[in-house]
Each structure stands twice: as C-alpha cells, then as structure tokens.
C-alpha cells in the first residue's frame, strides 16, 4: 500500500516559546562560561607564524632572536647557581652552630630560653585565662599614678573591691578616685545618698558616659535642621555628663606635679561597669572597644587624652569564688565562660528582687518561678522556636544583658550601719583628699546632677546588695579548682528548695517496702444443711426457711 506523502512540520511558533528558548540558550552559555572560568580554561594561544620569507632582513631577525634566547638561558643558569651556592653556605653555617652548642651550659641556656618562650606564648595565646587578666590588672596598677575605680551607681557597694583599694592605698604614692558611673539609671535621691556615703572615705565624681560614640572613621549623617537649643541635640544615650569635671581635676593634678612626664591614670573595675565607655567619653571618640558582652577588654591599652594626661584601660577584675551567688552572677564571667547556666543566673537575680516590680518592668503576668517568667518574657518579646515553642535561652540572655548593661533601672539602698573598712583610716582619708581641687569636684557634681534626667523612684527596681565583692589581683591567688560558691549554692538549693520554684522539687518516688504483701485467707464458714430444710415444693415457708 502506498503511504501518503507526509508534510514537514512548520517552524512557526509563538513568541513566548521562542523567547523562552533564547533565554535557556543564554543561561546555558552563561553556565559554561562560569565553569570555564572556575577551571581556568583559557583560549589557546595563537601560534607564532615566524618571520615571513618576503621579509627583507629575515636572516638578521632570526639571528637576533637566537641571541636573545641564549642570553635568557644564561641568565637563568646564573641565578640557579647562585641559589645553589647560597643553600650550601646556609647548611655550612648550621653545622658550625650545632658544633658550638655541644657544650653543657650553653645547651642548658638554650633549653631554658625555649621553655620561657613557650610559656610566654601559652600565656599570650590564652588571653581569656585568669592568670593573664590578673597580670594585666596588676600591670595597670603598677604603672599608674592615679587609679580610678569605676562603680556602677545601681550597686556601688557591690562594685567595690577591697583587695584593689587596699593595694592602691598601701602603695603610698598613688591616688585613688571613685567614679560613680551610670547615674542616669538610678533615682536622684539614691545617687545623692550614695555620694554622701562614699565621700566620707574617698573623693567621688558623678559620671554619665556616652553610649553612642562612633569611631573616627565613621561619618555622622547630616541632619536636615539645626536644633535651636541644646536639649534637642542631646539624647539619652549620646549625652555625656561629668566629663569636663573629671578632665579638669586630672589636668590640675598633673600641673601641680613637678615632673614633666604625662600623668598616668589607670581605670579599673569589675566587668561592664563602664571603664571603656568612660575613656571613650573623655577622648571624644571610640578609642576602646565596648559592647554589651562582659569581658570585651582583654589587655591593657594606653589612650592619650591630652599632652600631659594619659589614661590606661584594663580588663575587668576577676571575682573570687568565695563571693555570694548574686555577686558572682553580676560581677564575674561565669555565664560567659560556661561555668554557670543562664537559667541559674536568672533564678539567683529574681530571688533578690520584688516580683511585682519585675512584672511591671517587663509587662508580664504573675509568675511562680524563674522558668515561668522566662517563658512569659519569651512570648512577650517574640522569642519563639520552631513550632511556637518559647526560646527561654534567648529570654535569659536578654534579661542578663539588661542587668549588666546600661539599660535597666534598679537601685540599692544605702545601709544604715555602714562603716568604713579597716584599711581606710583618718590619715589615709586625709592623704587621698590632699592634692585634689575639692571645690571643683563639688561644683562639677552639682552641675552633673542638674543636667542628668533621672528615673522615678517608683519605676526603678529595688535590689538587695550583698556588700563588697572580693577580687583576685595576683596570679598566685588564682585557683584552678571548680567554683566553690556555685557548688555550695547548689547544695543549699537541694537541701532547702525554694517555695516558688516547683521545678526544683523532684517528684517523690514511691518507697519500696521490704515485707511481702499479705494474702487474705478466707476461713470456711460452717453450713448446716439439715433435712428439715429440704422440701418437695418450691414455695417459701416463712416458719421453716427464715428462722
């Protein structure tokens, strides 16, 4: 059977299909070019055609090319021989040095040098170790003429380190100055009471550091309008108070000295009290790294404020393990180092506060324990994991950052029976106050208190201070044992669980009894079946059946 003639398919197509094909082709070519670029595939170099026969001076051109090739080969051979001779001479020197170090004392010396270099490298590598931090703090104190101890105004007594103050006062030729930082987070009445209490022992300067200082390389955005007064230009974070007073009294002290060298001022204190922020505020730019994470500063840093004034930043003081749990939570780096869980730290802080004030501050409903509080805080802030589960870990981090950073307002009352420590005598007080411009300090503090906007007493959380925090200054005092305070705290919590924390109370397991279960024995009851009860009829007889 003859097949019918088949018609060829038309090449006509819709525009969308044609454009789609062109797009696919472009993407394919782009992909090939990208792969070729990754593999390093290059286009083949075109072959040199040489000198054509029609050139008038072909033989001379070829002769010059051959001479250039021979010169390049000779130059490469000369360089190769020079490198070979240099390596041989280096090996010869090494052999001679090894032969001279065969004597015993020299070998011991080199061995000691190697061990010392190795120990120095280990110390420098581990900048987070307590030994390195203590050495940097001691280095700052030894090099300083004036030591500034920065205190958090929310808990000034808890930020004082007796070991540090005693070491500075007993040195004999150093001045100790207290700077009360973060006063904008404390009610004004509380700040005045603490300043009156601390001024009985040492000079005190009220200070509010700026938290929005940028690096000098960052350009500020130009504002559309210029503020008509200074109030509009100063926000709560950008404003700085007490800076001029502090610089003036330090420069006057430097001018009164008979030495032409710059006055060295060491800034010390516990982590996150505002040491680096204070130096940045004095400098007017970001000279030291700052952050909400505690322990940002790892080593000593020199910052030149003026020609005759140099300030030295230092790491935070290492808290001793003998301190209470609250002090370790706020002043140490146990949470950052992983020695203390965030949930335990939050539980410790909540025990020292009024729950109603915490509810008002964070806008959460009533809670029974720390876990329930973190769950409600996570829901309030939107810290949710997959499936809508509250992220209590993130909520605990936020809560701890508020307490150690410059955000949350809380205060501690001045103890009524507060007495100066034993190392602060009348002669020491008179010596520490001598040389300072006391009138300028008083006027500067009054000016600072007038300019700062303080929070209301009702909106601030009342906190119970546990007293001064013991610190470690020498490397010999650093113990590598496990945290003693944390273990004792855990033991106490296990023995006496908190009434408001049901998660701390383990479920009571049923006690196993040693005796076996008693089986009930049924005693047989005698049944008397007499013939009198037998009847031939199914009907009841009340006279005989129910006697």
User: Residue 107 pLDDT more than 80?
Assistant: no
| pLDDT of 230 | 43
Give which of 318, 309, 370, 312 is closest to 345, Cα–Cα. 370
Identify whether the C-beta of residue 273 lies closer than 8 Å to the C-beta of residue 406: no
pLDDT digits (tens, 9 = 90+) for 253-275: 888 887 778 889 999 999 888 88
Question: How many structural domains does the chain have?
Answer: 1
Give which of 149, 159, 148, 150 is closest to 463, Cα–Cα. 159
Identify whether the C-beta of residue 149 lies closer than 8 Å to the C-beta of residue 178: yes
Please give the structure tokens belonging to residue 271.
Answer: 């982590």
List the alpha helices (DSSP H) in 101-180: 104-125, 130-143, 162-171
User: Residue 151 pLDDT more than 50?
Assistant: yes
Mean pLDDT along residues 142-151 = 91
Q: How confident is the model at residue 74 (pLDDT cuts 50, 70, 90)?
A: very high
Please give the structure tokens belonging to residue 48.
Answer: 């040199």
Query: How many CB atoms within 10 Å of residue 113?
Result: 10
Give which of 268, 312, 17, 237 is closest to 150, Cα–Cα. 268
What's the CATH number where 283 sits? 3.40.50.300
The mean predicted confidence, pLDDT, of the chain is: 78
Give which of 471, 543, 536, 67 is closest to 270, Cα–Cα. 471
List the alpha helices (DSSP H) in 452-525: 484-495
User: Residue 69 pLDDT more than 50?
Assistant: yes
In a domain, residue 4? The reply is: no
| pLDDT of 170 | 85
Identify whether the C-beta of residue 170 lies closer than 8 Å to the C-beta of residue 428: no
Looking at residue 468, the DSSP 8-state letter turns out to be -
Give which of 135, 152, 206, 141 is closest to 176, Cα–Cα. 141
User: Residue 401 pLDDT more than 80?
Assistant: yes
- Least confident piece of the model among 125-129, 385-389, 438-442, 447-451: 125-129
* Cα–Cα distance list, 393 to 157, 328, 382 (Å): 30, 19, 13
Q: How confident is the model at residue 229 (pLDDT cuts 50, 70, 90)?
A: very low
The residue ranking higher by pLDDT, 292 or 435, is 435
Query: How many CB atoms within 10 Å of residue 143?
Result: 13
In a domain, residue 335? The reply is: no
- Least confident piece of the model among 141-145, 317-321, 532-536: 532-536
Domain that holds residue 270: 130-213+235-320+418-456+466-475
The residue ranking higher by pLDDT, 413 or 543, is 413
Identify whether the C-beta of residue 392 lies closer than 8 Å to the C-beta of residue 343: yes
- Least confident piece of the model among 18-32, 392-406, 529-543: 529-543
User: Residue 83 pLDDT more than 60?
Assistant: yes
Mean pLDDT along residues 472-488 = 56
Q: How confident is the model at residue 233 (pLDDT cuts 50, 70, 90)?
A: very low
196-211: burial string, b at 16+ Cβ within 10 Å, e else: ebbbebbbbbbbbbbb
* Cα–Cα distance list, 27 to 18, 21, 33, 198, 483 (Å): 14, 10, 10, 75, 62
In a domain, residue 13? The reply is: no
- Least confident piece of the model among 137-146, 218-227, 304-313, 427-436: 218-227
**In degrees to the nearest 10, what's the CA dihedral of 228, 231, 237, 242?**
120
In a domain, residue 164? The reply is: yes
pLDDT digits (tens, 9 = 90+) for 466-478: 888 888 887 666 6
In a domain, residue 341? The reply is: no
| pLDDT of 150 | 92
Identify whether the C-beta of residue 101 lies closer than 8 Å to the C-beta of residue 110: yes
Q: How confident is the model at residue 226 (pLDDT cuts 50, 70, 90)?
A: very low
Mean pLDDT along residues 302-309 = 88
In a domain, residue 331? The reply is: no
Mean pLDDT along residues 386-392 = 89
User: Residue 362 pLDDT more than 50?
Assistant: yes
User: Residue 66 pLDDT more than 80?
Assistant: yes
| pLDDT of 544 | 60
Identify whether the C-beta of residue 206 lies closer than 8 Å to the C-beta of residue 449: yes
| pLDDT of 77 | 95
In a domain, residue 483? The reply is: no
DSSP 13-53: --HHHHHHHHHHHHHHHHHHHHHHHHHT--PPPPPP----T
User: Residue 506 pLDDT more than 70?
Assistant: no
Identify whether the C-beta of residue 391 lies closer than 8 Å to the C-beta of residue 378: yes
Give which of 544, 524, 523, 526 is closest to 535, Cα–Cα. 544
- Measure CA of the first residue to CA of the last residue in the chain; give whole Å: 118
In a domain, residue 449? The reply is: yes
Query: What percent of the chain clears pLDDT 70, i.e. is strictly above it?
Result: 75
Q: How confident is the model at residue 22 (pLDDT cuts 50, 70, 90)?
A: very high
Q: How confident is the model at residue 503 (pLDDT cuts 50, 70, 90)?
A: very low
| pLDDT of 510 | 42
- pTM of the complete model: 0.62
Query: What percent of the chain clears pLDDT 90, i.e. is strictly above it?
Result: 20
Please give the structure tokens belonging to residue 400.
Answer: 């701890």
Mean pLDDT along residues 449-463 = 88
- Least confident piece of the model among 89-103, 361-375, 398-412: 89-103
User: Residue 519 pLDDT more than 60?
Assistant: no
| pLDDT of 15 | 96
Give which of 469, 468, 434, 443 is closest to 177, Cα–Cα. 434
């Amino acid at each position: 059977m003859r097949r019918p003639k088949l018609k060829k398919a038309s090449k006509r197509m819709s525009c969308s299909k044609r454009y789609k094909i062109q797009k696919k082709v472009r993407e394919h070519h782009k992909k090939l070019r990208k792969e070729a670029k990754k593999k390093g595939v290059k286009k083949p170099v075109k072959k040199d055609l040489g000198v054509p026969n029609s050139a008038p001076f072909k033989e001379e051109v070829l002769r010059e090319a051959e001479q250039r090739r021979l010169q390049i080969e000779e130059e490469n051979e000369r360089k190769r021989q020079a490198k070979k001779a240099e390596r041989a001479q280096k090996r010869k020197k090494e052999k001679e040095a090894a032969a001279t170090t065969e004597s015993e004392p020299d070998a011991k010396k080199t061995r000691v040098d190697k061990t010392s270099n190795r120990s120095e490298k280990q110390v420098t590598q581990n900048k987070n170790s307590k030994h390195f931090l203590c050495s940097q703090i001691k280095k700052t104190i030894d090099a300083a003429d004036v030591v500034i101890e920065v205190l958090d105004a929310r808990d000034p007594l808890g930020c004082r380190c007796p070991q540090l103050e005693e070491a500075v006062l007993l040195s004999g030729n150093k001045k100790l100055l207290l700077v009360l930082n973060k006063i904008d987070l404390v009610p004004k009445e509380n700040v005045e009471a603490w300043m009156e209490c601390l001024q009985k022992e040492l000079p005190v300067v009220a200070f509010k550091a700026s938290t929005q200082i940028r690096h000098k390389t960052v350009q500020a955005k130009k504002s559309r309008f210029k503020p008509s007064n200074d109030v509009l230009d100063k926000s709560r974070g950008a404003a700085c108070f007490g800076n001029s007073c502090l610089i003036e009294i330090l420069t006057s002290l430097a001018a009164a000295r008979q030495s032409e060298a710059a006055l060295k001022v060491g800034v010390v204190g516990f982590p996150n009290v505002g040491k680096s922020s204070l130096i940045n505020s004095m400098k007017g730019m970001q000279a030291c790294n700052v952050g909400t994470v505690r322990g940002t500063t790892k080593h000593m840093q020199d910052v030149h404020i003026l020609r005759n004034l140099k300030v030295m930043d230092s790491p935070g003081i290492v808290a001793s393990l003998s301190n209470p749990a609250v002090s370790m939570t706020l002043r140490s780096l146990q949470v950052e180092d992983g020695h203390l869980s965030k949930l335990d730290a939050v539980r410790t802080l909540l025990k020292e506060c009024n729950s109603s004030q915490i509810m008002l501050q964070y806008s959460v409903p009533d809670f029974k324990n720390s876990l329930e509080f973190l769950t409600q805080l996570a829901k309030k802030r939107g810290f949710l994991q997959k499936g809508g589960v509250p992220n209590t870990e993130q909520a605990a981090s936020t809560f701890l950052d508020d307490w150690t950073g410059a955000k949350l307002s809380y205060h501690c009352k001045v103890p009524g029976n507060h007495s100066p420590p034993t190392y602060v005598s009348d002669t020491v007080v008179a010596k520490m106050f001598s040389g300072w411009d006391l009138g300028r300090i008083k006027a500067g503090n009054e000016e600072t208190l007038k300019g700062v906007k303080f929070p209301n007493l009702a909106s601030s959380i009342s906190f119970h201070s546990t007293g001064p925090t013991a610190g470690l200054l020498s490397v010999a005092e650093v113990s590598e044992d496990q945290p003693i305070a944390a273990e004792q705290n855990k033991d106490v919590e296990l023995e006496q669980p908190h009434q408001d924390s049901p998660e701390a109370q383990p479920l009571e397991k049923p006690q196993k009894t040693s005796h076996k279960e008693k089986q009930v024995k049924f005693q047989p009851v005698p049944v008397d079946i007499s013939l009198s009860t037998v009847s031939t009829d199914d009907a009841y007889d009340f006279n005989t059946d129910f006697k």
